[in-house]
Structure 1
Amino acid sequence: MEPVEYDETIHPVVWLNKIKSCCYKNQITKKEDIIEFCKSMVHPSIDVSKASTFDEILNILKTDVLFTLFKYSVEEKLQKLKFDPKNEDHVQFISIFRKFCYEAEINDVEKQKKLLLKLSKDSFQYYFINNNLEKIKSLDDLVVYFNQSFLEQRKFIHFGSCITLKHVATGKYLTSCNVHYKTGSKRSIVHVNENIVISGTYKSPSTGNWEASCILSRHMHFIEIDSTNNDDTYIKSKEIINIRDMEYNNYILRNHEFPDNETYQDVVGHKGRVDEHDKWCIE
C-alpha cells in the first residue's frame, strides 16, 4: 500500500486511516512517528506544522475551505445516485449511500430520510420507509428499514405470480376438474391456468347466486382485492382477502354455503353481505 498525499479529494478521516494502515504495514508504530509522517503527506498549501495530535491534524484539514467544496461534491454525487430495485444489489447501494452521507457529513437523519426517499421514489422501498418514518431515528435505523423493505417485498404477489387460494372457512383450495355446468353457460366450473369469471348472465334458480366459471379467451374482468393489511397497493402471501369481479356489479367469490344436494354450487358469485364464506388465503 502506497502512502496517499492529502489533496482535498478524500475525507480527512478516511485519508488518516489509510496513512495509519500504511505506517503499520511498514512497521512504523510509534504515535509520534505516525503523526510526523501524516504531516509530511499533507500538501504545503495547508499548514499543519503546529499540529501535535491526530485530532489537531483533522481539525486543520476540516476547517480548510476546500474541505467544504469536497463535501458539496460528495453531496452532489449522492443526489445523482439512482436506484433500480430490479437490477441493483440493494446492499451495495445502501453501502454507497451511507458512505456518501458520511463523507458529505450529512448527519441530520431527517435529511438522510428525504435523500433516500428521493432516490427510491416510485419503488416499494419508498412506500415502506415512508410508512415507518417516525420509527427511524438514525442512519442505522434507515439502513435496517431499507433492508427490511426487501425482505417484505419478497412476500408480495406480483403480476404473473403463481399462487393458490385456500378457502379460510373450509380449508379447501380453489381448484378444478373436468366438470361443466349443465345449464347456463355450460362452461367448466373451474379450470387451471384460465381466467375466473363471475357471470352476469347465468345464476342458480334455487339459490340466486351467480355462476362462477373459467374460459379460455381473455376477458376484461378486473379483480379487486380487499386485503387485511389495509394497503391497496400491495398484496402479500398468507394474507386473507376477498375477491370481487368489478365488471359485473361487485360480485364476490364465495365458497361452500349451501347443502350438498343437486342444487349445490361449490364456488359462486354473490352480491350479499361479506362474511366468513368469502375469505380466501393467498399461498
Structure 2
Amino acid sequence: MSFLSFPEYNGSCHPEDWLCNFKFVAAFLGRAPSESELVNLALLKISRSIYNDKNIQISKFSQLIEFLKADSSFKIFKLCSEQKLLALRFTYLTQVQDFTIELRQLLSDIEIFDLKLQKQFILKILPTKLFPDTYSLKIAESLTINDVFINLLNFLLQYKRVVKYGSVITLRHIDTGKLLSSSLERYTGGSQQYWAYAVDRRATDYESWTVMPEVLQNEIPPEYGGNKEKGSPVYYGDKITLMNNGTGQKLHSHLGFESPITSQQEVTCQTFNDGNDNWNVQHYIYDVDSKDKEPWNECHDIFLFHSSNNLGLNSHNFMLNDKYQEVTCFGDKKVNTTKWRADILYDFVSNQ
C-alpha cells in the first residue's frame, strides 16, 4: 500500500469522517508521523477546488477541520444531506437496520446533535398518519437519544406487521374485547347457515381466519394471484374474504335475513362462494383508498364493510346464549360497535 491508498477529500462526505478514515489508513500502513506531518499529507489529498491556497497555514487536525467546514463545499454537503434526510421514507418492505443506519448517518452529516431537534426530524419523516398517537408520543417524550432509537425501533418493527394475503389472523372486537368466531352449529331460523359470533376465550382454530382474495365469480373459490398473491400486502380499500380455519367456511352476510336477537342484518359462515363473502377493509379513522397503497397493519383499528350493502361488521353485548355474542351487519364506521383489530397469528412470507 502507498500514498495512493489514502482517501481523497472532495466535499462528498463529512470532513470528520474523511479525517477519521485518513488516520486509520495511516495507522494501518504502520506510519507514525507527527500531527503536522500527517496534516501536510492530508492536504495533498484534498481536491484543489477546495484547497488551492498554499499560503494558508494548517498544522493541526482542528485547523484542518475548521478550514474544511468553512468551505462552501461543506455547506452544500450539509444542505444535500438534509434534503436526503427529509426524503427518507420507511415502508413495510424497508429493512429496519438499513433505515436506522442511514438515519443516524444523515443526522450526523448535518450535525444535528441536539435531542429536541433530532426528535423533530425523526417524527417529520416517519409515516405516523395512520398510526396510534402512542407510538409518536413515546419518541417525542424520550429523554435520551438512546431512548429515542429504542422507541423508533419499536415503531418500525410494528410498522412492518402488515396483514398479507395468506396471513392467519384473529379479529378482536374493540368495544367488547371478544374474538370473531364460528362453529358448525347452524341458526335454527333465518338462513339456517353456520353461526358467526364473538367469544371471550383464548384463540383456537375457530377464532382464526385466513385472509384470501375476494370471490370474483359465483361458485368459484377465491384464487391467489397478481397483486393478491400469497405474501402480498392487503391494502386499505381491498376486497377480501375471510375463511374460518376451524370450519373451512367463509364469513358471509346477505340481504333478506335478520339476526336472531336484534333483527339487524344476519352474519353467517358458509361455503357457497359468492359475492356475499366479500368484505372491504378500511382504516377506522382515515378514509384510505386502495390506490393509496396503505397496507393493513395489525395495530390499526379497522372497519370491515360488506361489499353488497356497505354495512359494517358489527357486534354488541347482546348474546346468542351464555357464551356467544351476536355478530351482525349494521351501521358504518361512525358506530363504535363496528371497530375491530387484527392480530397476526401466522405471517405469510413469500418464498420469492
Q: TM above 0.5, one fold?
A: yes
Shift of 1:218: 3.2
**In the alignment, what sits opposite 1:186?**
192
**In the alignment, what sits opposite 1:66?**
73
CA distance in 1 between counterparts of 2:313 and 2:74 reads 63
**In the alignment, what sits opposite 2:17?**
14
Select 2:315's aligned residue among 245, 252, 266: 252
CA contact (8 A) 1:91 1:147 kept: no
RMSD: 4.8
**In the alignment, what sits opposite 1:106?**
112
1:4 aligned onto 2:7: yes
Select 1:218's aligned residue among 275, 280, 285: 275
- Provide structure 2 residue ranges, at least 5 long, that are not aligned to the other structure: 197-246, 285-295, 331-335, 346-352
Shift of 1:28: 0.8
Query: Any idea what the Cα deviations from partners look like across 1:109-146, whole Å, max 9, x if unmatched?
Result: 44444444443446767966533343245654443332
**In the alignment, what sits opposite 2:141?**
135
CA contact (8 A) 1:78 1:101 kept: yes
Distance 1:132 1:281, change over 3 A: closer
Shift of 1:242: 11
TM (norm. structure 2) is: 0.55
- Provide structure 1 residue ranges, at least 5 long, that are not aligned to the other structure: 227-232, 260-264
Map 1:117-266; keep pairs closer than 5 Å: 117-121=123-127, 130-137=136-143, 139-153=145-159, 161-164=167-170, 174-177=181-184, 179-190=185-196, 191-197=247-253, 201-204=257-260, 212-215=267-270, 216-219=273-276, 235-236=298-299, 251-252=314-315, 258=321, 266=324
Q: Higher Cα Rg: structure 1 or 2?
A: 1
More helix by share: 1
Greater length-normalized contact order (CA 8 Å, ≥ 6 residues apart): 2
CA contact (8 A) 2:78 2:109 kept: yes
SS class of match (1:163): strand
CA distance in 2 between counterparts of 1:151 and 1:86 reads 9
CA distance in 2 between counterparts of 1:161 and 1:142 reads 31
Query: Any idea what the Cα deviations from partners look like across 1:195-246, whole Å, max 9, x if unmatched?
Result: 2449873354xx66765422443337678999xxxxxx96449x9x999999
**In the alignment, what sits opposite 2:235?**
none
* Bigger mean CA deviation after superposition, 16-25 or 63-72: 63-72
**In the alignment, what sits opposite 2:219?**
none
Distance 1:151 1:16, change over 3 A: same
TM (norm. structure 1) is: 0.66
Identity of counterpart residues, as a percentage? 17
Shift of 1:147: 1.6
